[in-house]
Amino acid sequence: MGEGWTPLLPIGNNVYVKDETVNPTGSFKDRGMAMAVTLAKAQNVEKICLPSAGNAGVSASAYCQAAGIDCFVFLPETIPEPFKNETKRYKSELVLSGQTISEAAQAMINQKDEDWFDISTLKEPFRVEGKKTLGYEIAEQLGWSLPDVIIYPTGGGTGLIGMWKAFKEMLGMGWISGPLPRMVVAQSDGCAPVVEAFQNHQDATSFWHKSNTIALGLNVPGPLGGYWILEILSESNGIAVTAQETSLEINTENFRKRIGIDASTEIGVVWSAYEELTEKKWITPGEKVVLFATGIERR
């Protein structure tokens, strides 16, 4: 449907923004859904289900409609209207349950029929394969070199896992040479299971109770791939940092005004992480940095 090959915008000081808002349904989720739905179709799947924090549901609905597959989307009851409207526009069945994607996922497990194919994050292999294109594009757009640092707003972590897989495979094939980027997980302090595990030197995340963030894509209290995300941080000499939930709106607004992309609040988390890491000199002047604007603001 025209997903991918999104701009890598230079914004000064060797810093770039990967603008994923221009994907067909407004977020980077389209890269994974294009692959997952296409491969499901090739295996004659007729019904697909998934829980979502919002954008994945919109994306899956669009691709399922294009593929002629019935789609069942489980969303938290707290989901804002624009996400519901967008999902319904593509004729999916909507079920609202619980406060977060974790509770919506539980409702899906309880209600799903046997012939529904589950494309939840990391429950099938192809969403991650689709997200690898993020890694390919960054390399190609930087002349087959890689940045020093990538800052990624992390919920379930598929994008981070996909990119890292792409980098390692490209390295193995000799398309690029190392070193690989230091990967940064950015989360809100209202839901930061990866940051907590990273700071406590744990190799898996613990469930984050009473999560609360306006960066809806990051409201993932129990990421299934927590172990992999932490492994990538360790392998890449990366870091996990929180942004203050109370400053999120203002940080997002600052980014929008300065860069001119109508990105959703996840960018406020990324922007705050960038500012903190440059201030602390974890990122040094002149280092090449890629920031992720993962989705558009839905109004």
Ligand X SMILES: Cc1ncc(COP(=O)(O)O)c(C=O)c1O
Which among 15, 12, 11 is positioned nearest to 290, based on CA atoms?
A: 15
Query: 15-19 and 8-12: which strand pairing?
Result: antiparallel
Closest separation in Å from C-beta 286 to ligand X:
28
Closer of 154 and 272 to ligand X (Cβ)? 154
Which among 216, 193, 217 is positioned nearest to 206, based on CA atoms?
A: 193
Closer of 155 and 181 to ligand X (Cβ)? 155
DSSP, res 216: G
Assess contact for 96 and 78: CB atoms under 8 A: no
Closest separation in Å from C-beta 18 to ligand X:
12
Alpha carbon of 72 to those of 9, 43, 91, 144, 218: distances in Å? 35, 18, 10, 40, 21
Distance CA 119, CA 107 (A): 15
DSSP, res 66: H
> Which residue is nearest to ligand X, using beta carbons?
217
Q: Which residues contact 206 (CB under 8 A, 6 or more apart)?
A: 193, 196, 197
Closer of 53 and 69 to ligand X (Cβ)? 53
Closer of 4 and 54 to ligand X (Cβ)? 54
Residue ranges that bind ligand X, judged by CB under 6 A: 27, 53-56, 121, 153-159, 217-218, 264, 266, 294-295
Closest separation in Å from C-beta 115 to ligand X:
26
Which helix (H) or strand (E) segment holds residue 84: the answer is helix 81-89
Closest separation in Å from C-beta 85 to ligand X:
16
Closest separation in Å from C-beta 254 to ligand X:
18
Closer of 218 and 239 to ligand X (Cβ)? 218
Closer of 54 and 130 to ligand X (Cβ)? 54
Closest separation in Å from C-beta 155 to ligand X:
3
